[in-house]
Structure 1
Amino acid sequence: MPTELSIVVHGPNTQGHLAGLLDSVAADPAPDTEVVVVAVGDWARDTAREHAPGAVLVPLPDGTGDAEARAAGAARASGRWLHFVHAKDGLPPGAPALLAARAAQLPDTVDVLLFDHVRTAWRTSGLPSWDSRLLARAGRAELTLDGLPALLRLTPLLGNRLIRAEHWRAHADALATDDEAYAAQTVLLTAARIACCTHPGFEHRELRPESLAPRTLDDHLALLGRYEALLAATRTRTAPHAVLYHLMVRDALRTFVRAGMPERDARVFFHRASEAARRLRPAGLRHPAGPEGLRRTLLEEDAYARYRALQSANHARRAARTALRAGRRKLGTQVRAVQYRRALARPVDPDLAVFSAYWNRGVACNPAAIAAKLAELAPQVHPVWVVAPDRVGLLPPGTDHVVPGSRRYWEVLGRAKFLVNNVNFANAVVKRPDAVHVQTHHGTPLKRMGIDQMRYPATAQGLDFEALLARIDKWDYSVSANSHTTRMWERAYPSRFVSLDHGYPRNDVYYTATAADIAAIRARLGIAPGRRALLYAPTHRDYEAEWTPRLDLATLADRLGEETVLLVRAHYFHSRTASALTGLRRAGRVLDVSAYEPVEELCLAADALITDYSSIMFDYANLDRPIVIHADDWETYVATRGVYFDLMAEAPGPVARTQGELADILTSDAWCDDEAGKERAMFRRRFCEFDDGRAAERIVRRVFLGEPEEALPAIIPVDRRTPAPTPQEATAS
């Protein structure tokens, strides 16, 4: 039996949404339906192979346009009807089966089936479209566009219409455009007959404008070019022509009012739109639809100045109201605001950089490694650290610093050329156009981050996602250690930052530390030569009100024997185990290193790592030493926090689900045997991709010195790297 419907999924895996689309199709298979995935780029190809193994896969290189991708999918499709779905969009449950059944009822004289859709954005999902009433008015009868030209007012998407495959191929040349709206309208204009359905069969995802490339004047003028072409094609069709003219004026006015174009561009666009509106106006048409005050002036000569005068008056009234509200603020806030505004009004200091880490805890993590390399490669740039008052005493001697809220704090934040943080600066920090914000992050994501947390109440509680996105929009650069991280940041933090795929600077030490360095660290920790040191570093649980110990450390230490030292980096020991651990601490068999900094030294000192879901596993993997996963609550963690991949299937070593299993692994060879080595090697290739010991250098040269990416030190492949010596090698040397 021939295939009724071909769902042509096409495009790059924008912000990681392709997996959800393919999973929904796989979970709800429809009879007489095939899925063709035109995967643009490696991420889309890999996602398609994992999430749609039964689909027809058409891989295309990065940068392939939508028109070429749709054409490639249509060429491979065998269905009588085509449904083009972009990789960022979705399909409501049951939609493929319903659309296939409806299309099967239609004769070959019908070229297009229109249907409703729902709208989804980063903070909303499943909102109704604006098309429902018009589709209900059309009913189920077969129509012509000249009989109901208002169908051109439906949202111009290819996803909200099925197209008969023969009709698509007959008009392939006219439809070979990356302008989806033009293709969607052309499909209707060339259709002999059209059918409608009121059921939502498509989910249109509206991406954050802040995550997309800025629209240029040429982009805005292309809107007018689209309508000029459509109006030229309908010159002899009175009713569709009039509808398209009204749509042109409406969309031109909306673009002018809402796009936020620079004044020079706005003037050019307005005059171009006004000229088109006058030139293409159908005879006898009174006023085009549009906001009062613009719909008349658009057709008049020299209307731009008059409109701008009206707009300036409105802005002045709003500014006066804003000033009145500002006058009611507390005096202290006003004083700080004045200080900050004065600093912002002064020129940026090109040799001033502000650093912060972990909510102002001190000199640590990726910012610390960047600052150290900066002192070596660009000593003319002066670093100032933002540090909380209670952490000032822990700073390295001679560290220039400011305390949040102080006068100098606002001064340096206002004038610094470079702002580097592994979290975010305060909401009040203004992003100057000539300043550079570098977000270094502080881990590779296993758990859901950013706006991906919205679906998980345990972690989303109390988070202001609007404020979070406002902070993200200030980023110029986002540092990444591997392709997985780059892709997850793209979906979790949808904005226009540039990804620095250079590695995590804090991990450089895992390739530069010497045997003497490691021996000295172990001596500082009190680890006797010949002892096996295991670093135990569990992560936080969002579903717990307070820390709950996952292991009975006293019992585990007894099982492991006197020659093993447990380095425990966690919350304070639970009161129930305190007395049992006292003797073990005195004997040096359990060391509480929760407050020890930097954590990289603990990793260098440890023969192996025991963790659960902490991002420390990704960093430690650079050392190519054994890693054991203790996952006693994996299902609960997944349900309450959400994860980006199945750690149980892709762990860097053996997985224990109970303390007994963990002890068995650590008292046998399972923690360091060949199988564990193979798992670790696969993990390293995926997650240590960019870490080779020169990450900080690449970032300093790229960001602070302005060197082009092609001039930076090339990343050494994982298999050709030499990690720091193991503790045994350090002792032997």
Structure 2
Amino acid sequence: MTRLSVVVSGRAPLSRLRACLESVTAQSYARLDVVVTVPLDDTPARALAEAHEMRDPRVTVVPVSPHAPAAAARAAAVRAAAGAYLQFLHPDDLLPEGAAAALAARLPAEGPHAPDVLVCDHRVAHWWDDAAPSGDTELLVRLRGPAPLAEQPALLDLAPVLGARLVSARLLGEHPELLASEGDDELYLAYAVLLPARGVACCDTVALTHRKDRPVQRRAAAPERHFAAFAQYERLHRLAVARDAPPAVLGRLYDRMTGDYLTTLARRDELPPALVPEYFRRAADHAARLRPEGHRLPRGLDGVRHHLLARNAALPYRALRAANDRRRAAGATLAAGTEQLAAVRTRRRYRRALRRRLDEDLAVFSAYWGRGVHCNPAAIAAELAELAPDIRQVWITEEDRVPLLPPGTDHVVPGSARYWDVLARAKYLVNNVNFPNDVVKRPGSVHVQTHHGTPLKRMGVDQRDHPAAAQGLNFESLLERIDRWDYSISANSHSTETWARAYPSGYRSLDYGYPRNDVYYRATAEDVLAARARLGIEPGRRAVLYAPTHRDHEARWTPRLDLPELADRLGDDTVLLVRGHYFHDRLPGGARHARVLDVTGWDPVEELALAADALLTDYSSLMFDYANLDRPIVIHADDWETYTRVRGVYFDLTAEAPGPVARGQADLTDILTSTAWCDETARKQRHDFRLRFCEYDDGHAAERVVRRVFLGEGEEGLPPVLPVGRRTPAPTPEEAARR
């Protein structure tokens, strides 16, 4: 008989479900039984689960109703499971390498005296650490068992992580009511299975890695999620009383409940302020009504908090917390006294501006740390001017970039008085990077993070294991900046999943496409020819846009190609347009060849893309944007191993490239002097790449953003995303010349 069934059930971002399923199916234990429930309306999740089912005979997918509560989905999985013991995983959980075999080895022999529950250890994954100890290990070793809960009430002191309990199918068959509930029930079930169990055994084998959201992510949840614990503890109390649990169990359960409530109230970054009064009232009701007879509260300050909660004394409780806040504030004020006077004055001016009313018709835009009108923010601003001209636009621009602004652009220089004024009062703040740390997220303001590329290299907190890339990045400060986001714009599912992991917070992903890529579907033949004329590209010449990316481990830009030699080998009919990363101003040493044109400072880059017959790059995110044009792309990956080791990447570009891959200049020359750069194989690679990475780009991304964010329209009224096969990109230079 199958010893262990792993049940994966619940809703989560696709990236987390993917990681969970991969961790389960990677287990070498051949007799493992895996059951995955997926809602019928979640097409991506169902496709992912069914792909695992096709590859792995141990996997069974159980579709469930979109409206089925978590318990109903779990019950459907139990009916399909074949194991003597079941482990319930949420898609947020991971099964460590070798865990299935280790757990199966710890399962007791079957028989009437076998324990109904085996409680195991777990690890906790935070954004900064994926293997933090649970804190339960010592208690698990001390308890061991097997014995019923009545003989070891300290079991209730263990964290209520459902996946760390292996539950016998016998117990679930004898008590089907355990799987009959509505709403969130993992906390309830983690404790409830202990109450009717004839025996509970413990072991220190790590059963799972339990991924925890950051407080701001939990805070962004719907109100019912914050109040879910009340119904679960109410049910647990009724179950304990119905089973005549001894006073020691009832007291331990009560302490756990009130401790959880007080912890939630103490965490200001987790519970939205508007929900605090109702949360306190409901917690106080439980603290008073469910307190076992004769139960003694803890002593000291903790006992004072419990006493105030049980009396529903909200005002004294707030006074106690305010006193603690004043003590902390006094310490912060003393530390602030060491800061420079100018910075203090700046903050005071900004704080005064924050007290003014929010300007509902003011939008602040910024791109690339104040470089001017560029990228996704520029495309959104242009569409906003068309659809909502009453909303005033102000651009943040560094002083040396002001002369380059389009005529009539309203702007502010960072650090100026008006700069802080518009940042304090603007309803909308749009950026393709982050606003400075000092910017405050005001209630009612809307922060839109547009990003500026599809991620190949590691980003955000994923850089923590790559110090050369992070270069002293303060991840805590980064997370504070991320927490201001209301919306994150994505061009494809890969980006959506990556941003959720690299930038963990409570924002909403707008899977609308990149607004800056709209031009690739709206540009005409005249636009293409005009772009080439401005660059001085003669008719009939092939223009190859060479766009290398920045390397974090190099102090300065060192071209990895001998460009004059490459230009000579490609012949008189080819011109190289060399576009450096925006971190650089010009090509080191100059072009040094008549057919090598340094366009590093040319804006916008989309114009260069329209003018080019092909793109040559290494690892620049421009490849994902350029793919929308359905024109040839060649990858020069001479240092791929070094780049991946230093920077870290999300996928193997050399195996999933948008075109031929050269590992050196000789290879590259052969590709560009033959038909390999544009043959049928290259077209097939580009087609597959476009399907994956041009998923939402169809020429209407900016319109979707403006209508949703600025005009408040619902998703159902937005222009639907056209499938890739139904889109018509801008004509190629050759096609434009024939029109």
Q: 1:546 aligns to what SS in structure 2?
A: coil
1:345 is the counterpart of 2:355: yes
Q: Contact 2:577 / 2:599 at 8 angstroms: preserved in 1?
A: yes
**C-alpha displacement of 1:408:** 1.1
Paired AA for residue 297 in structure 1: L
C-alpha distance in structure 2 between counterparts of 1:527 and 1:278, whole Å? 81
1:145 is the counterpart of 2:132: no
Aligned to 1:37: 36
- Provide Cα deviations, 1:480-533, integer angstroms capped at 9, x if missing partner: 112222222122111121222222111111111111111111111111100011
**C-alpha displacement of 1:319:** 3.4
- Provide Cα deviations, 1:162-210, integer angstroms capped at 9, x if missing partner: 1112322333332234310101111111211121112222211111122
C-alpha distance in structure 2 between counterparts of 1:646 and 1:217, whole Å? 41
Aligned to 2:130: 125
Paired AA for residue 433 in structure 2: V
Q: Contact 2:72 / 2:179 at 8 angstroms: preserved in 1?
A: no
C-alpha distance in structure 2 between counterparts of 1:421 and 1:63, whole Å? 37
1:155 is the counterpart of 2:155: no
1:671 is the counterpart of 2:680: no
CA gap 1:382/1:224 in 2 versus in 1, 3 angstroms: closer
Taking structure 1 as the reference length, the TM-score comes to 0.93
Spell out the pairing of 1:409-420 with structure 2 (5 A cutoff). 409-420=419-430
- Provide Cα deviations, 1:662-712, integer angstroms capped at 9, x if missing partner: 222222222212222222222222221221112212222222222222222
Aligned to 2:624: 618
C-alpha distance in structure 1 between counterparts of 2:366 and 2:663, whole Å? 37
CA gap 1:173/1:397 in 2 versus in 1, 3 angstroms: same
C-alpha distance in structure 2 between counterparts of 1:5 and 1:32, whole Å? 8
Quote the RMSD (CA, aligned, Å): 2.4
Q: Which segments of 5 or more consecutive residues in structure 1 lack a partner in the other structure? A: none
C-alpha distance in structure 1 between counterparts of 2:163 and 2:601, whole Å? 54
C-alpha distance in structure 1 between counterparts of 2:342 and 2:490, whole Å? 39
Q: 1:534 aligns to what SS in structure 2?
A: strand
Aligned to 2:239: 233
CA gap 1:392/1:293 in 2 versus in 1, 3 angstroms: same
Spell out the pairing of 1:640-659 with structure 2 (5 A cutoff). 640-659=646-665
CA gap 1:279/1:515 in 2 versus in 1, 3 angstroms: closer
**C-alpha displacement of 1:653:** 1.7
C-alpha distance in structure 1 between counterparts of 2:400 and 2:260, whole Å? 56
Q: Contact 2:62 / 2:76 at 8 angstroms: preserved in 1?
A: no
Return 59-68 or 562-571, whichever deviates more. 59-68
Aligned to 2:532: 522
CA gap 1:726/1:272 in 2 versus in 1, 3 angstroms: closer
C-alpha distance in structure 2 between counterparts of 1:264 and 1:88, whole Å? 28
1:600 is the counterpart of 2:611: no
C-alpha distance in structure 2 between counterparts of 1:287 and 1:385, whole Å? 58
1:630 is the counterpart of 2:636: yes
Return 413-422 or 108-117, whichever deviates more. 108-117
C-alpha distance in structure 2 between counterparts of 1:47 and 1:89, whole Å? 16
Spell out the pairing of 1:191-590 with structure 2 (5 A cutoff). 191-212=197-218, 214=220, 218-235=224-241, 236-238=244-246, 239-258=248-267, 261=271, 265-287=275-297, 291-300=302-311, 303-570=313-580, 572-575=586-589, 582=592, 584-585=593-594, 589-590=595-596
C-alpha distance in structure 2 between counterparts of 1:381 and 1:392, whole Å? 22
Aligned to 1:165: 169
C-alpha distance in structure 2 between counterparts of 1:704 and 1:284, whole Å? 58
Q: 1:173 aligns to what SS in structure 2?
A: helix
Percent of residue pairs bearing the same amino acid type: 57
Q: Contact 1:15 / 1:491 at 8 angstroms: preserved in 2?
A: no
Q: Contact 2:123 / 2:209 at 8 angstroms: preserved in 1?
A: yes
Q: 1:72 aligns to what SS in structure 2?
A: helix
Q: Contact 2:297 / 2:303 at 8 angstroms: preserved in 1?
A: no
Return 41-50 or 674-683, whichever deviates more. 41-50
**C-alpha displacement of 1:104:** 4.8
Q: 1:294 aligns to what SS in structure 2?
A: helix
State how many pairs are aligned. Answer: 722
**C-alpha displacement of 1:420:** 0.9
Aligned to 2:59: 56
Q: Which segments of 5 or more consecutive residues in structure 2 lack a partner in the other structure? A: none
- Provide Cα deviations, 1:452-499, integer angstroms capped at 9, x if missing partner: 111222212311111111111111111111222222212211112122
**C-alpha displacement of 1:565:** 0.9
C-alpha distance in structure 2 between counterparts of 1:423 and 1:313, whole Å? 38
Return 539-548 or 467-476, whichever deviates more. 539-548
Q: 1:99 aligns to what SS in structure 2?
A: helix
Q: Contact 2:226 / 2:271 at 8 angstroms: preserved in 1?
A: no
- Provide Cα deviations, 1:551-608, integer angstroms capped at 9, x if missing partner: 2222222221110111111254455xx6xx52x32xxx21111111110000000011
CA gap 1:266/1:618 in 2 versus in 1, 3 angstroms: closer
Spell out the pairing of 1:67-86 with structure 2 (5 A cutoff). 67-86=71-90
CA gap 1:404/1:69 in 2 versus in 1, 3 angstroms: same
Taking structure 2 as the reference length, the TM-score comes to 0.92
CA gap 1:13/1:287 in 2 versus in 1, 3 angstroms: closer
C-alpha distance in structure 1 between counterparts of 2:109 and 2:606, whole Å? 66
C-alpha distance in structure 2 between counterparts of 1:45 and 1:107, whole Å? 37
**C-alpha displacement of 1:20:** 3.9
**C-alpha displacement of 1:399:** 1.6
C-alpha distance in structure 1 between counterparts of 2:139 and 2:314, whole Å? 34
Return 31-40 or 129-138, whichever deviates more. 31-40
Q: 1:462 aligns to what SS in structure 2?
A: coil
Q: Contact 2:638 / 2:663 at 8 angstroms: preserved in 1?
A: yes
Q: 1:198 aligns to what SS in structure 2?
A: strand
1:17 is the counterpart of 2:23: no
Paired AA for residue 258 in structure 1: R
Aligned to 2:140: 135
Paired AA for residue 445 in structure 2: A
Paired AA for residue 266 in structure 2: V
